[in-house]
Every structure is written in C-alpha cells, then in structure tokens.
Amino acid sequence: MTEWICTANRGFAAYAAEELRRLFPGMKMMQLAAGEIFWIEVAEEREEALERIHSKEPIFLRHLQPVERKLPIRGSADDLQALGDVVRHARLRFAGHTVAVHLRRVDHSPFPYSAADTKAVLDAVLMETGAEPTVKSPEQIISILAGKDVLYVGIGTPEEQLSDWPGGAVRFQREDGQISRAKFKLLEAEQTFHLDLASYREALDIGAAPGGWTHLLLERGLKVTAVDPAELHPSLAAYPRLTVLNKNAADVQFKQGQFNLLVCDMSWSPLQMCKLVLDLVPALEAGAAAIITVKLMHKKPLQTIRDVIAKLDAEFTLQKAKQLFHNREEITLYLMKK
C-alpha cells in the first residue's frame, strides 16, 4: 500500500483522478487544494504503482509525489528539525547525488517557513550526507507539501515525479521583445516530449499569428512557413528563413513531403483542427513530427481527446498526450506521421 500527492492544472484534478481510478480501481482519494492537488492511497507498492502510471501516463496528471512520511505541523523550528531528521535517515539515498528540495503549500497552511528558508536548512543537512544540493537538473528530489496540519514528505527522481519543477509548475523567464506567452507552451512541449527542435529541417506552423511558436522555431534554426490570415509580429520579418502566407490553412497547398515538423496552436474546435491537419498530411515527409494543441471546449474533455486521437490515428501515431503547465483549457499532442 502506498500514498501519493497528485497535482493537475487548476480545475482539472477531477479528470486526473478519473484517469488514475482506471489504473487503480480501489484507490482512495482526498482533496487537498480545490481542483488542483489531491492525496491518493493505492493497494500497490511503490514500484508497481510507478510502473502502471508510467506505462499509461495520465494526460491530466502534472506531478506525482510519493508520501513516505507525514509530519505534524507544529508551527515552530521543530518542523525544520523534523524535516532534517527525515533527510538524515535517508542519507544513503542521497550520498554522491545532486539533490533538490521542493516545498509547496496549500492555502492557509500553518507551516511558517518559506521555500528558501526550508531549502537552506535541508541543503545544510544534505551536505552532511555527502550530497550536492542543486536547483537545476537534480538526480533526486525531496518533495514537501505543507498541508492544513501535516507535512507530506517524499523522495524520488524527476522521472518518477514526472517533472524536475516543484509540483510540475514549469517556469520560463519572459524575454525582452517576446511576442507571446504561447512560446512557453512549445518550450515546455520540447522538454516534456524530449524533443530537440533544432534537429528538424523545415516546419509548417498552422494558425501562426502572432508568431510565438514561429519565433521559437526560427531561433532554433529551422526554415518556417507560417500560415494565418492575421498578421504576424513585425519583428519576424528580420528572418530570411521565414515564409508567411496570409491565408486560411484550408486554402494552401505545398510540395509533397516538404516539411518534417508541423505545429498547430489554433483556437479552433478540435474537429475542425483535425480536418485541417489531416488535409495537410501530404506536405509532411514520412516520420514527420506534429505538435498540436487540442482545445477542450466541451464538458467532456476525455471524450473529446479520444475522438481527436481516433481521427488523427488515420495518419499519425500518438507518441504522448499531456496537459502541460502552460496549457489552459487545452492539452498538447505529440504525434508522428505514419
């Protein structure tokens, strides 16, 4: 029997829980932060539970934290002492590894210490164990959720926890002159799907305006054709590798096999998006990748996702479907042309 803290995008926890129930039919559940964070208990031991989750990773589950200890919150330095003792007792798991400390809290938690203060204390303990405290690219993560009266503590790798960011909340720094925040979605997709956008030759961006995704692809060195009846940001005119077609995607034609990457982040209905993408399949070479957002415009998102994947299956093989941190009322698909 094991316990876990599960996190989804705000408002989508119920869908993550529904997916998990299909993996763990006897699962117990308790809400910790409305619509976002919940606790579960499953009959399976850690390795079996992780194997089930990773073999069919839930679309709406953003982060997974094991619960190995539950410490009562006293609201004093005793809390930090208790956390330090947990780290010391797990010293063999940390020695010789880079380790990050992630603290999150639910609203109105009585735990009095900030993430920075908690990290400073536990980093000192980690150094006693022979570990190397870090922020980026850790080999192990100590995850702590400060609840209403309990600290939930667990240790795991970034792969086991589905992310190396606290709670899976991926943060990118906004750049001067950034065209749109939509760029963050494609950056996160690149990380989550283990892609190297710079490895692609030529991309087709459908519904490109104002050009956030186009800009990232150009920065990665690709040749890009951007299709949208609306205008792209004027700064993109500086890129000679960019071709802009101010048309609807339904009205364009390309050479067969011209592109090895298609991206689409359109605010269209899912079924309209599917038709557009499928009509453009001849322009993609065999094995071309596609990164597509699916807008969840209806009350049954899981059914919408199943319908979209079933339609795209005629020409594409799904690699992964995920609601990313930077997705809102949508998910992102990573597919490859058959």
What positions carry a catalytic annotation? 295
Beta strands in 126-171 (DSSP E): 132-133, 140-146, 150-156
Buried b (16+ CB within 10 A) or exposed e, 202-235: bbbbbbbbbbbbbbbbbebebbbbbbbeeebbee
CA angle, 150 then 152 then 154, to 5°: 160
Structure tokens at 111: 């735990």
Nearest Cα to 108, choosing from 139, 73, 70?
73
**137 touches 176 (CB < 8 A):** no
Map tokens 């007792």 to a residue.
Answer: 89
Q: Alpha-carbon distance 194 to 204, whole Å? A: 20
Pairwise CA distance, residues 331 & 72, whole Å: 37
